[in-house]
Amino acid sequence: MTTLGDIARLVRAPAALSVPGDALAGAAATGSLGARTAGLSAAAVCLYWAGMAANDWADRDLDAQERPERPIPSGLVTPGTALGVAASLSAAGLVLAGLAGGRRALGVAVPLTGMIWWYDTRLKATGAGPAAMAACRGLDVLLGASSRPGRRAAVPALTIAAHTYTVTALSRREVSGGSPLLPAATLAGTATIAAIPAAAPYRGHPWWRWVLRGGLAGWYAASYGPAQVRALGEPSANNMRAAVGAGITSLAALQGALIARSGAPAAGAAVAAAAPVGRRLASWVSPT
């Protein structure tokens, strides 16, 4: 019988800690942090979990060969159950988005849901896969900003999308390993991404806010970078997988830096605090 623990493994439950920060980054950028942001964050979490379940449903035959320990090939979860979980969570995400943000939020949540399913069922194995996943995380940010649309959410959306691109590109070599060129490129990308919140204009804010966002950006780079350096030295499947895990769990620090950059230092620090929690939980339930 399928248990809640099996479902948690199916949807990579701990990795969802990386999701609310997307919506918070969008809301902070547009000055719309509030009660609605919590509902939009919950919607994004549901859609993320739906994507994880749909991923395993779509990959069930491939996983039987490459990752037999995953819930479907190991027999812990049936394909029908996985599909049902994915569909139910997708519906829940759309309902929550509509309740929290109305038509504006649905205007982002509907294409986000479509992109998630398109990625899982069609695009993942193609050259467009990393860009499609990056688009999903960028839309997460815009979902959080949907109650007060504006171009100010473009910077956090593009920054988080760029980070997601590096993680997704590495994930394509989790089983087979690859060339050192890939982690070299993603490492350069990580350095550039970390510089965005750290190098933002001072704008007359108290000095400690500048130090906070720079420190969080440095924490992000220090959390994600070393795993990529190890993959660069030895681009084995295990090192690639470890780099992917580091990319997922370090995202909270990047989100925190972006939120602090937008003038919400307390919220940024709180989001970043989820990074070590995510790493701890990842030792129990794999985020990849």
Q: Under a CB-based contact definition with an 8 Å cutoff, are residues 288 and 241 in contact?
A: yes
Q: How far apart are CA 272 and CA 102, in angstroms?
A: 28
Asked if pLDDT for residue 175 goes beyond 70, the answer is yes
Instruction: Give 120: exposed, middle or buried? Use CB within 10 Å, 0-12, 13-18, 19+.
Output: buried
Asked if pLDDT for residue 99 goes beyond 70, the answer is yes
pLDDT at position 207:
77
pLDDT at position 275:
73
pLDDT at position 282:
64
Q: Under a CB-based contact definition with an 8 Å cutoff, are residues 76 and 5 in contact?
A: no
Any idea of the CA torsion for 130, 254, 28, 261, to the nearest 10 degrees?
-130
Half-sphere exposure of 195 (CA within 13 A, CB side): 6
Q: How far apart are CA 21 and CA 269, in angstroms?
A: 11
Which stretch of 81-85, 143-147, 253-257 has the lowest confidence by average pLDDT? 143-147
Q: Mean pLDDT throughout 235-246?
A: 94
pLDDT tens digits, one per residue of 246-286:
998 899 999 999 999 998 999 999 999 877 776 677 666 66
Q: How far apart are CA 259 and CA 156, in angstroms?
A: 8
- pTM value? 0.91
pLDDT band at 152 (very low <50, low <70, confident <90, very high): confident
Q: How far apart are CA 49 and CA 244, in angstroms?
A: 17
pLDDT tens digits, one per residue of 33-44:
999 999 999 999
Q: What is the 3-state secondary structure (H, E, C) of the chain?
A: CCCHHHHHHHCCHHHHHHCHHHHHHHHHHCCCCCHHHHHHHHHHHHHHHHHHHHHHHHCHHHHHHHCCCCCCCCCCCCHHHHHHHHHHHHHHHHHHHHHHHHHHHHHHHHHHHHHHHHHHHHHCCCCCHHHHHHHHHHHHHHHHCCCCCCHHHHHHHHHHHHHHHHHHHHHCCCCCCCCCHHHHHHHHHHHHHHHHHHCCCCCCCCHHHHHHHHHHHHHHHHHHHHHHHHHHHCCCHHHHHHHHHHHHHHHHHHHHHHHHHCCCHHHHHHHHCHHHHHHHHHCCCCCC
